[in-house]
């Protein structure tokens, strides 16, 4: 069983479990062949990552600011996703990332477990991940998009707060605020705390 923790808007932690997928020969392979198997698995896997800390991280902005203009905070579960309406829904797997010293320790886990392990240097992120595997869909002839999939979700349920990147240009701040207003989330936009002046007394 894999523990799952969702932070809902009341800031209460809901803890429950999802079953881990069964281990297969492919997930136990090691070495070069195992890496190739993992690369194929990664091609058919979509990951959604969430920063669980109560405060922003400057390192987080430096890592991801070029890829997005704002960050949301997880507050509720997602609905079933289907690549095509006539097919069975893809399974969601979720859990907190475990941080290990990969410079000194070799991971001896199945390929699926690798999605929930990262190097200790990133431990300040306190990351939670949701995973969708598209391998079952591909087996049944569904075309898997080369770019990311777009899974529908309820903004009001999912987004608790939106933090603006401290390095955003004014026009990008305005665009983000306008988009939030269009989604009825304007009151949840927050200016980055990293722009404030620290108080030492």
Read off the pLDDT of residues 42-78 as tens digits, 9 standing for 90 and up.
777 777 777 776 666 666 666 655 554 444 444 444 4
Over 80: is that where the pLDDT of 101 sits? yes
- In this prediction, residue 61 carries a pLDDT of 64
HEC string for the chain: CEEEEEECCCCCEEEEEECCCCCCHHHHCCHHHHHHHHHHHHHCEEEEEEECCCCCCHHHHHHHCCCCCEEEEECCCCCCECCCCCCCCECEEEEECEEECCCCCCCCCCCCHHHHEEEHHHHHHCEEEEEEECHHHHHCCCCCCCCCCCCCCCHHHHEEEEEECCCCCHHHHHHHHHHHHHCCCHHHEECCHHHCCCCCC
Over 90: is that where the pLDDT of 181 sits? yes
Over 80: is that where the pLDDT of 120 sits? yes
- In this prediction, residue 125 carries a pLDDT of 73
What mean pLDDT is predicted for residues 9-36?
A: 44
Read off the pLDDT of residues 186-195 as tens digits, 9 standing for 90 and up.
999 888 777 7
**Which range is least confidently modeled, 1-5, 21-25, 41-45?**
1-5
- In this prediction, residue 82 carries a pLDDT of 58
Read off the pLDDT of residues 123-135 as tens digits, 9 standing for 90 and up.
877 888 877 777 7
pTM: 0.50
């Amino acid at each position: 069983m894999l523990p799952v923790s969702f932070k809902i808007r009341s800031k209460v932690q809901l803890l429950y479990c999802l079953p881990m997928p069964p281990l297969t020969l492919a997930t136990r392979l090691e070495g070069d062949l195992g890496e190739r198997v993992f690369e194929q698995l990664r091609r058919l896997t979509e990951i959604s990552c969430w920063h669980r800390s109560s405060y922003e991280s400057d390192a987080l902005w430096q890592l991801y600011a070029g890829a997005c203009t704002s960050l949301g905070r997880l507050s509720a579960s997602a609905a079933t996703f289907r690549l095509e309406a006539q097919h069975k829904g893809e399974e969601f797997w979720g859990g907190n990332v475990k941080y290990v010293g990969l410079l000194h320790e070799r991971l001896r886990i199945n390929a699926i477990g690798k999605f929930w392990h990262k190097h200790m240097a990133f431990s300040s992120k306190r990351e939670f991940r949701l995973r969708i595997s598209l391998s079952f869909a591909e087996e049944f002839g569904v075309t898997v998009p080369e770019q990311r999939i777009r899974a529908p979700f309820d903004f009001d349920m999912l987004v608790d707060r939106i933090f603006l990147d401290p390095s955003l240009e004014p026009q990008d701040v305005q665009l983000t605020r306008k988009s939030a207003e269009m989604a009825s989330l304007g009151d949840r936009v927050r200016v980055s705390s990293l722009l404030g002046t620290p108080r030492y007394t």
